[in-house]
Amino acid sequence: MLTWNSRVRIKAAVLLLVGLTASAFAKNPRQPRAPQAKAAAEKSKAAAPAGEKQPLSTRVVAYQIQAALDTREHKIKASETLTYKNLTGQPQQNFPFHLYLNAFQPQSTFMTEVRLYGTRGTGAESGWDPKHFGSITVTKLQVDGMGDLTNKMQFIQPDDHNTEDRTVFQAALPKPIPPGASVVFHMDFDDILPEVVERTGYKRDFYMVGQWFPKVGVWWKNQWNCHQFHATTEFFADFGTFDVNLIVPQSEIVGAGGDLVGSTNNPDGTKTLTFHSEDVHDFSWTASPHYTVVEDSWTGSTGTVKIHLLMSPGHMRSAPRYLHALKGTLAYYDQYVGPYPYDRITVVDPPHGALDAGGMEYPTLITAGTAWFMPRGLLAPEGVVEHEFGHQYWYAMVATNEFEEAWLDEGINSYLEVKVMDALYGKQTSILNFPFAQAGESQEQRTSYLSVPDFDPLTRFAWQFEGSNSYGGVTYGKTATVLLTLEKFLGEDKMREVMHQYFLRYRFTHPTGEDFLKTIQDVSGQDLHSYFDQAVSGTNILDYEIDDAHSDRVKWYEITRTGPKLYRTYVTVHRKGDFVFPVDVKITFDDKSSVLEHWDGRDRWIRYTYERPAQVASAEVDPDRKVWLDRNFFNNGRSIDGDDRAVHKLMNIWVFANEWISQLFAWIT
């Protein structure tokens, strides 16, 4: 997820994504092969006794929730039993819980930041429609063996001490839970859903219910990790099981991040739907009487995945586009990264006016986004499905801490977005594919980074970025660009192996950025500390330019110009930015001969000198466009007779189009 601005940016980026015909993936020669993924999948299948399913994760939590939806008041009345297994290795007495829906209150930290960033309403007089407020109230807390602890609940604000923020509470137990023991919490709670805002809520009779129940924090790095809900933060939770009973009117069509294991009609016109899900860390659901359900399936290395597509009225034309992107993404990830172990994926298409519920990920359930007029050349529906499905690997399975290291989810996901979208829809056409305008995903990621190149490092805690634009441009765009540059440096096969190993080693374990960087070093066998220091934890800008390229006659003092002419050519390359990175330099002469130099970039400049019977025709830094981090491609080359203005002009049109489309989608959401 993102903040408003970044979400609009991603949505626009996503929205910039372009589609293609149904056979493209099958025909694409760039399809990756990763025999390791298949071998690993086979092995894990073989290890489990027939008929018995091994848990994929260390199951810390077991949630049982009973929830009744009131469609008149847009409220949910619910009770929750949480069994928490103390695997922290020490006694635990104080348990923090998230109450995410309380972010949608006027004085919350989330809202304060939203006003600061100007992402929802700007200016002193601009208001916020109260229909977008929402809340969650825990009315009762009991703990097995310890009685009623409702009055032991206390709101805490570990991040900013804003005492008006009620997105985290702590329950102090009268006695500690020993290591290895379990504690059972019983809670009653009431949700007031907002009209759709930040991916959650209702719009007319459509419901997208996410982050809607009290969720315990994570014991991580030897302390509780339970941050407040911020304008730029996402989520972090432990794995376990969910058993959820939803009571909704019988007319509702419901989709959820779980298997439907029971359905009972009640005498009062409602029905109770029972869902079960395991080895996940969240549960979300949607309801609407107007969905058209499209059932499909895809078979990969671990078996068949059922696809449930819930389409809103007027959007059916986008259904094949969603399915094509989803199946293509499933196949790419299966081969490039590793197996998708769940047997289902639900895609929710929000109705007209509820696009704000789109573009979000939950375990085994994602929300997409389209419009009845969506042209084929604008690959928004494809891009959003690819992006949100990608999160199943990073957010849902690897499950890094999105509050503190958002780049490991959104950033790695954005890098894979480039890979998948380019493979499915073409490098130059994976965002826009019109006869009059085309654009590719990697360019979009780079452009988004370059709009905010030096405010924040990737490693900043998500709520501590300079603003939501910097959060979006750096977390998504810069990470993708950093990894694309690394891919060119290491080679695509090596990078594929990095991603594959990282996923296999760390799925279901909450790894850290260090784990990711260590994997890159291990797999590549290279010392990349200097690159990581600058690209990951630094804000240095990378920019190389050809400062000078000219030729001079060696015997310039000879007045009679007879015989073969010998020239001395000088090419000066300048490292304009502080980012040091090795680059190639290609010098071409007017007799078509050329020289390829390799500069380590450590000094501030270097001069190459040649003597040959030809003059320099052009000089170019990074002629193969490997260094995507380079801020300015225009100064990379110097052509002695050429005219670079056309290139400048084209680039400006692209930047303008990008901005324009971002704005367009900001208006219509």
Task: List residues near Zn ion by CB under 5 A.
Answer: 410
Q: Are 96 and 169 in contact (CB under 8 A)?
A: yes
Question: Please, which residue, 429 or 479, has the CB nearer to Zn ion?
Answer: 479
Least CB distance from residue 159 to Zn ion, whole Å?
Answer: 22
Least CB distance from residue 150 to Zn ion, whole Å?
Answer: 36
Query: Pick from 20, 30, 654, 73: which is nearest to 379 by CA?
Result: 20
Least CB distance from residue 445 to Zn ion, whole Å?
Answer: 13
Q: Which helix (H) or strand (E) holds 432?
A: strand 432-434
Supply 368's token pair.
């997409």
Residue nearest Zn ion, Cβ-based = 410
What's the CA gap between 580 and 501, in Å, rounded? 28
DSSP 475: I
Contacts of 601 (CB under 8 A, 6+ apart): 544, 575, 580, 581, 582, 583
Least CB distance from residue 367 to Zn ion, whole Å?
Answer: 11
The number of beta carbons lying within 10 Å of the beta carbon of residue 262 is: 10
Query: Pick from 520, 434, 535, 435: which is nearest to 479 by CA?
Result: 535
Angle ∠(626,631,637) on CA atoms, nearest 5: 65
Question: Please, which residue, 410 or 487, has the CB nearer to Zn ion?
Answer: 410
Question: Please, which residue, 408 or 616, has the CB nearer to Zn ion?
Answer: 408
**Helices and strands (H, E) in the chain, number of each type:** 14, 32
Least CB distance from residue 417 to Zn ion, whole Å?
Answer: 9
Question: Please, which residue, 475 or 569, has the CB nearer to Zn ion?
Answer: 475
Question: Please, which residue, 344 or 391, has the CB nearer to Zn ion?
Answer: 391
Least CB distance from residue 256 to Zn ion, whole Å?
Answer: 20
Q: How far is CA 296 from CA 118, 346, 385, in A?
A: 41, 10, 15
Least CB distance from residue 359 to Zn ion, whole Å?
Answer: 7
DSSP 561-602: --S---EEEEEEEEE-SS----EEEEEEETTS-EEEEEE---
Least CB distance from residue 410 to Zn ion, whole Å?
Answer: 5
Supply 529's token pair.
């500390």
Least CB distance from residue 330 to Zn ion, whole Å?
Answer: 17
Least CB distance from residue 391 to Zn ion, whole Å?
Answer: 6
Question: Please, which residue, 407 or 581, has the CB nearer to Zn ion?
Answer: 407
Question: Please, which residue, 97 or 516, has the CB nearer to Zn ion?
Answer: 516
Question: Please, which residue, 410 or 630, has the CB nearer to Zn ion?
Answer: 410
Question: Please, which residue, 194 or 383, has the CB nearer to Zn ion?
Answer: 383
Largest interatomic CA distance in the chain: 109
Query: Pick from 211, 604, 662, 204: which is nearest to 431 by CA?
Result: 662
Supply 239's token pair.
């794995």
Integer Rg of the chain from CA: 27
Question: Please, which residue, 95 or 332, has the CB nearer to Zn ion?
Answer: 332
Helix (H, G, I), strand (E, B) or coil at 140: strand
In a 10 Å sphere around its CB, with 0-12 CB exposed, 13-18 middle and 19+ buried, how is residue 116 labelled?
A: exposed
Least CB distance from residue 388 to Zn ion, whole Å?
Answer: 7
Least CB distance from residue 218 to Zn ion, whole Å?
Answer: 20
Question: Please, which residue, 2 or 535, has the CB nearer to Zn ion?
Answer: 2
Q: How far is CA 464 from CA 10, 159, 468, 505, 538, in A?
A: 20, 10, 10, 29, 15
Scored b (16 or more CB within 10 A) or e, 539-564 reads: bbbbbbbbbebebeeeeeeeeeeeee
Question: Please, which residue, 334 or 410, has the CB nearer to Zn ion?
Answer: 410
Angle ∠(406,410,416) on CA atoms, nearest 5: 140
The full 3-state SS of 33-72, as one line of letters, equals CCHHHHHHHHHHHHHCCCCCCCCCCCCCEEEEEEEEEECC
Question: Please, which residue, 191 or 410, has the CB nearer to Zn ion?
Answer: 410
Strands 61-70 and 240-249: parallel
Query: Pick from 524, 523, 511, 500: which is nearest to 41 by CA?
Result: 500
Least CB distance from residue 394 to Zn ion, whole Å?
Answer: 9
The full 3-state SS of 514-554, as one line of letters, equals HHHHHHHHHHHCCCCHHHHHHHCCCCCCCCEEEEEEEEEEC
Question: Please, which residue, 312 or 392, has the CB nearer to Zn ion?
Answer: 392
Q: In Å, how far from its chain's centre is CA 561? A: 64
The number of beta carbons lying within 10 Å of the beta carbon of residue 613 is: 12
Least CB distance from residue 408 to Zn ion, whole Å?
Answer: 12
Question: Please, which residue, 96 or 383, has the CB nearer to Zn ion?
Answer: 383
DSSP 251-287: T-EEEESSEEEEEEE-TTSEEEEEEEEEEES---EEE
Q: Are 9 and 651 in contact (CB under 8 A)?
A: no
Question: Please, which residue, 472 or 637, has the CB nearer to Zn ion?
Answer: 472
Least CB distance from residue 497 to Zn ion, whole Å?
Answer: 24
Least CB distance from residue 442 to Zn ion, whole Å?
Answer: 17
